[in-house]
Amino acid sequence: MSSVEREARDAVSRLHLSAGGPLGIDEALIHAVVHGFYGKVRSDTMLKDIFNRVIGDNWDVHLAKMCDFWSSVLLMSGRFHGAPMVAHARIPEIQPEHFVRWLQLFGETTQALCPGPKAELFMAKAELIARSLQYGIAASRGEMPLRTAAAEA
């Protein structure tokens, strides 16, 4: 079996094992959701200034990276290579209310573009990601105690 054939077989295998593949989520839908969502973010009074400050003129790069991220999350494509926790922890103005708004806009986008089980999966993953990022940001700021075995003793 050639390396190209192996790659194709592995890609099909990952798609079947992924959460999104069996629901019919594909790269085109991920692209539509990512671009639709960030279109809302870029005009949102609460979020736009933060995103514009951090992303600047690099929106095309950011959107491509987010498509890779969601492809990796939902389709197990393995395309995303980055450190989301580090990137978000570096933004001092991020607060829990920003994540609430982020999830609200993301939910509106997924409901409009792929209602039903596809939207539910996007949102379940988004909520886990938001929770993880909030926890990591709070820990990096020293805003919450970390539990350790020594603290339990």
Q: What is the pLDDT of residues 32-75, one digit of tens each?
A: 999 999 999 999 999 999 999 999 999 999 999 999 999 999 99
pLDDT in tens, 118-138: 999 999 999 999 999 999 999
Quote the number of domains for the chain.
1
Q: What percent of the residues of the chain are helix, what percent strand, and what percent coil, each to the nearest 5?
A: 70, 0, 30
Question: Looking at the domain assignment, is residue 9 inside a domain?
Answer: yes
pLDDT of residue 105 exceeding 70, the answer is: yes
pLDDT computed for residue 115 by the predictor: 85
Q: Residue 32's closest CA among 117, 116, 106, 143?
A: 106
pTM of the model: 0.81
d(CA 52, CA 48): 6
Domain annotation covers residue 45: yes
Residue 17: is its pLDDT beyond 80? no
pLDDT digits (tens, 9 = 90+) for 78-99: 899 988 888 898 998 999 999 9
Flag whether 153 is in a domain: no
Which DSSP string do the residues of 14-75 spell out, in sequence order? HHHHSSSGGGT--HHHHHHHHHHHHHHHTT-TTTHHHHHHHHTT-HHHHHHHHHHHHHHHHH
Q: Which domain holds residue 24?
A: 3-143
The tokens of 6 are what?
A: 């192996």
Q: Which residues have CB under 8 Å from 38's CB, separation 6+?
A: 51, 59, 62, 63, 66
Q: Could you tell me the CA-to-CA distances from 108 to 12, 46, 88, 92, 120 in Å, in that order?
A: 30, 16, 23, 26, 12
- Tell me, what CATH number does 58's domain have? 1.10.490.10
Domain presence at residue 36:
yes
Q: Is 150 inside a domain boundary?
A: no
pLDDT of residue 8: 47
Q: Do the beta carbons of residue 82 and residue 88 sit within 8 Å?
A: no
Q: What is the dihedral of CA 51, 55, 56, 57, to 10 degrees?
A: -130
- Tokens matching residue 77: 């494509």
Residue 129 lies in a domain: yes
pLDDT value of position 11: 45
